[in-house]
């Protein structure tokens, strides 16, 4: 989220944290807790912290009013299909081959991002539109100012609806490795940015046309069908690491958004219940993520995906917080000593990381939903009131 300031990140997340009493509201959003949003909205005029957070949110939303032309059709090179409407991205950890004149086939360097991939802007544009729609949706929800919904609708139509610029509902060429693969199931991870975008769309629903809203719903219906039925989607379903977690977070989010709760519930009760047992050890360690060269980053990001899955599952009547041998609680407790109490991380981490800052993204849900063994300890550095909303790596 380049350009998304630290203060605004903290403010946005603060607005997703429970302040004061717990009240019951009809569920609206999917990953965001609508009860929390409504409770904080009722305090905008009376609670100084909420008022400050909303003010920071509005400042950032006003910047989003100036954004234009976020789409997939302006990339400097076409995907293998030759269709500029197909999303296209290069795999993050693959580099040109130093032993060939052409640089092909690309070779892997786990944990070391290849900056050359950034020449294709589809992924960058996706992260920007996700951030913009999330911010504009929250601003519209808290203020009722139609400008935010109007701008959001303009951006959404450019990405999902307008014939000249819309993205085709697939990720066939995401995570491409030149000379190796045109697209891979691992590329499905790029779609994770759609999850919070959808909640932004829901929050601005009252301020955009039904044609636009229904058009977005239909786009995600087709996209979910692609994830379920395409060769890449079927292979993505088999992945058992953080990408597999992201796959199922996306699937249940899309299913709920298009109104197919039966599909979401089936995925939760069967595939997701299987996956959680494959990923977490009895001690809460994430076996596959701990093998990576940036194991802390991946462990944090994967647990954040699981927290979001647990929130959606809870709305569907399935309690993953306490179910499944309390593996999410164990996963949280496993990471907490390193993220809050200064314990030295033992697995590989080749790039410098702020353990406390990255762990803080788990704190709102972790402290509210789980009861871990370290609750009675005094943190080395007390966690900030405002907490980053997601882990970026």
pLDDT tens, residue by residue, 297-345: 999 999 999 999 999 999 999 999 987 789 999 999 999 999 999 999 9
Categorize the per-residue pLDDT at 263 as very low, low, confident or very high, splitting at 50, 70 and 90. Answer: very high
In the chain, the DSSP E strands lie at 88-90, 94-95, 107-108, 173-176
Q: What is the pLDDT of residue 7?
A: 52
Tell me: pLDDT of 380 over 90.
Answer: no
Question: Percentage of the chain surpassing pLDDT 90?
Answer: 82
**How many CB atoms are closer than 10 A to CB 148?**
29
pLDDT tens digit string along 173-216?
999 999 999 999 999 999 999 999 999 999 999 999 999 999 99
The DSSP code for 117 is: G
Tell me: pLDDT of 375 over 90.
Answer: no
Tell me: pLDDT of 27 over 70.
Answer: no
Q: What is the pLDDT of residue 120?
A: 97
Categorize the per-residue pLDDT at 378 as very low, low, confident or very high, splitting at 50, 70 and 90. Answer: very low
Tell me: pLDDT of 150 over 80.
Answer: yes
Query: Nearest 5°: phi and psi at 45?
Result: -90, -15
Q: What is the pLDDT of residue 177?
A: 98
Tell me: pLDDT of 2 over 90.
Answer: no
The two tokens of residue 243 are: 């990408």
The two tokens of residue 267 are: 């995925």
Q: What is the pLDDT of residue 12?
A: 59
Tell me: pLDDT of 387 over 50.
Answer: no
Centroid of chain to Cα 264? 18
3-state secondary structure (DSSP) of residue 86: coil
Categorize the per-residue pLDDT at 368 as very low, low, confident or very high, splitting at 50, 70 and 90. Answer: confident
In 166-227, the DSSP E strands lie at 173-176
> Looking at the chain, how many residues does it have?
393
């Amino acid at each position: 989220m380049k350009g998304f300031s630290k203060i605004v990140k903290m403010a946005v997340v603060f607005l997703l944290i429970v302040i004061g009493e717990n009240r019951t509201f009809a569920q609206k959003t999917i990953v965001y807790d609508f009860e929390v949003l409504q409770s904080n909205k009722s305090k905008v005029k009376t609670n100084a912290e909420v008022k400050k957070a909303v003010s920071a949110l509005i400042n950032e939303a006003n910047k989003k009013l100036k954004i234009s032309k976020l789409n997939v059709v302006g990339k400097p090179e076409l995907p293998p299909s030759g269709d500029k409407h197909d999303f296209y991205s290069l795999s993050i950890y693959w580099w040109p081959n130093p032993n060939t004149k052409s640089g092909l086939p690309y070779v892997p360097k786990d944990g070391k991002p290849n900056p050359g991939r950034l020449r294709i802007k589809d992924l960058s544009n996706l992260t920007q539109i996700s951030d913009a729609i999330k911010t504009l949706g929250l601003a519209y929800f808290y203020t009722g100012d139609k400008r935010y919904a109007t701008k959001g609708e303009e951006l959404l139509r450019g990405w999902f609806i307008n014939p000249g610029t819309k993205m085709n509902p697939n990720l066939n060429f995401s995570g491409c490795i030149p000379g190796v693969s045109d697209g891979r199931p691992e590329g499905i991870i790029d779609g994770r940015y759609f999850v919070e975008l959808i909640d932004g769309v829901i929050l601005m629903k009252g301020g955009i046309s039904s044609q636009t809203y229904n058009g977005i719903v239909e786009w995600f219906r087709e996209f979910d069908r692609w994830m379920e039925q395409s060769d890449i989607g079927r292979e993505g379903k088999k992945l058992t690491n953080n990408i597999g977690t992201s796959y199922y977070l996306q699937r249940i989010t899309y299913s709920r958004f298009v109104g197919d709760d039966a599909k979401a519930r089936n995925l939760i009760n069967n595939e997701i219940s299987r996956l959680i047992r494959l990923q977490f050890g009895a001690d809460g360690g994430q076996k596959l993520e701990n093998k990576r060269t940036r194991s802390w980053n991946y462990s944090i990001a994967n647990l954040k995906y699981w927290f979001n899955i647990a929130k959606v599952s809870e709305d569907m009547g399935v309690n993953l917080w306490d179910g499944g041998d309390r593996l999410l609680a164990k996963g949280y407790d496993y990471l907490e000593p390193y993220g809050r109490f200064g314990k030295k991380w033992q697995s590989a981490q080749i790039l410098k990381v702020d353990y406390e800052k990255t762990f803080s993204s788990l704190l709102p849900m972790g402290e509210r939903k789980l009861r871990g063994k370290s609750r009675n300890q005094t943190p080395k550095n007390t966690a900030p009131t405002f907490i980053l909303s997601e882990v970026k790596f």
